[in-house]
Amino acid sequence: MPIDRRSLLKLAGTLPVLAAAPRLARAGGGEAAAEKVDYTLRIATDLVELAPDHIVSTTLYNGQYPGPLLRFREGQRTIVDVVNDTDTPELVHWHGQFIPSDVDGSAEEGTPFIPAHGVSRIAFVPRPAGFRFYHTHVVAGNDLARGTYTGQSGPVYIEPKHNPGAYDREVFLVLKEFAPTFSRGGDMAIDALTGSPLKALQQIGETADKEAREKSKGYEVGYALFSINGRMLGHGEPIRVKEGERVLFHVLNASATEIRSLALPGHVFRVTALDGNPVPTQAEVPVLWLGTAERISAIVEMNRPGVWVMGDLSDDDRGNGMGIVVEYAGEKGKPQWVAPRPFRWDYTQFGKANAAAAVPDETIEITVVKHNGALNGFNEWTLNGEAFSMKTRRPMYTVHEGRRYRLKFRNASDDIHPLHLHRHSFELTRIGGKPTAGVIKDVVMMGGFQEVEFDFVADNPGLTLFHCHQQLHMDFGFMALFNYA
Ligand SMILES: [Cu+2]
């Protein structure tokens, strides 16, 4: 970690806190002070140079975007010191890992905050193996300088005990927007997913719309600047490849609110893992679609020499930076973009063929409703009529250890929701009207006016948070806590 003079002075100013904080703020530790620290993350305001004429100021980990790639070993106790060099308490969430509630990084689950100008020592045993990530988990509300609107996210790779390694090279890609603003007038619908809207859900949505007729639509977030690995298209180093090479891409959508797509003209992606978990069927697709916080690992065989733009299907977003150049050895010229044919994302093509998921012990049905502009101009979200209360943090559901739960979500809104469960993985059992089995995830996109079903086994006791990963939705009601009996 590079420390400049300014940072040293700041650190010196916090020394009394440093000395006292580890005992106060430590979570999941309990060992003596002489432990070896694997990584140190420093949270502070700094600059990201997306392009020479687009330098943004935001909160970062270790002064860089994305935050450093953290490589952990599955099952090997790991210690991370987090230095919070900002004026507000922070939380680091270890997304996709099965770790205790007090280190998971969610205040709703009881993880202590990293105090402003304080330090927390976080210790846990990383698992499961695969592509995970870390990000802030504080509430942003109406503050676009807080939460995942900032640059507080970075990739994690948990090394498996055995690596199949049928590739020549690994490349991590972190997709991220900057310079957010609010706007009124609703979000643009995106044709990302297979499946059709359900009449009954549209009717619930219409009723909710009528109730809010006098109010205008709630605020949505838009962005001016788009980047891959912290650089706008054309301003970073290209990905340099050789003909015949098999490149394994680990793609993370680190957006606060958006769904992203990615295509490489003339090439196909063979998807090997979703959210870091190997898929039963490695289907080949021309386009990747990722909801907020989703990850896709996919192998691309480099068999079409040229200089290409690997980028988002949206011309606007790609034009404002959402892309990266792929350059074959010996090839020169202007990077080429060719729009792929429309392609809808279907999770079931990665599932087990002709297999059914295990029968659950219990099914919990949850209907999601949007209340237009109900909270000072922001949309409010309810699950079975209840918006999550940040004040009471009352658990909505109680689960019993060892039981298998099916969550059936019904989306009575036109928005796509990336649903996320903490501290557990889940198995998709029905999506876009199709039954499926074997796809293990921690985030899944639920289409507008559609239903999604997934199962999880209650095998990691402790308060467990469920929420939509769209920051604007989770901050305004779209959350629920699960409690173990
Ligand atoms: Cu949502």
- pLDDT tens, residue by residue, 54-74: 999 999 999 999 999 999 999
Residue 192 CA to ligand 1 center (angstroms) comes to: 15
Residue 473 CA to ligand 1 center (angstroms) comes to: 5
pLDDT at 211: 63
Residue 417 CA to ligand 1 center (angstroms) comes to: 4
Residue 446 CA to ligand 1 center (angstroms) comes to: 9
Measured distance CA(463)–CA(97) in Å, rounded: 14
> Does the pLDDT of residue 8 top 80, yes or no?
no
Measured distance CA(101)–CA(88) in Å, rounded: 21
Mean pLDDT (whole number) for 265-280: 97
Residue 213 CA to ligand 1 center (angstroms) comes to: 21
Of 214 and 150, the one with more pLDDT: 150
Measured distance CA(20)–CA(391) in Å, rounded: 29
pTM of this structure = 0.92
| Contacts of residue 220, Cβ cutoff 8 Å, sequence gap at least 6 | 182, 183, 184, 185, 186, 187, 257, 472
Lowest mean pLDDT: which of 164-168, 266-270, 387-391?
Answer: 164-168
Residue 272 CA to ligand 1 center (angstroms) comes to: 26
> Does the pLDDT of residue 216 top 90, yes or no?
no
- pLDDT tens, residue by residue, 163-215: 666 788 999 999 999 999 999 866 666 788 999 999 999 998 887 776 665 55
pLDDT at 25: 44
> Does the pLDDT of residue 409 top 60, yes or no?
yes
Residue 367 CA to ligand 1 center (angstroms) comes to: 12
Residue 290 CA to ligand 1 center (angstroms) comes to: 14
Residue 23 CA to ligand 1 center (angstroms) comes to: 37
> Does the pLDDT of residue 438 top 70, yes or no?
yes
> Average pLDDT of the chain?
91
pLDDT at 214: 54
pLDDT at 2: 41
pLDDT at 267: 98
Q: How many helices (H) and strands (E) does the chain have?
A: 6, 32
Percent of the chain topping pLDDT 90: 83
Which residues are near ligand 1, the ion (C-beta closer than 5 Å)? 417, 468, 470, 473
Measured distance CA(375)–CA(202) in Å, rounded: 22
CB contact at 8 A, 104 and 80: no
DSSP type of residue 400: -
Residue 414 CA to ligand 1 center (angstroms) comes to: 10
Q: 198-202: long-range contacts at Cβ-Cβ below 8 A with a sequence spacing of 24 or more?
A: 198/410, 198/449, 198/450, 198/451, 201/410, 201/411, 201/412, 201/449, 201/450, 201/451, 202/412, 202/449
Residue 160 CA to ligand 1 center (angstroms) comes to: 32
In this prediction, residue 249 has a pLDDT band, given cuts at 50, 70 and 90, of very high
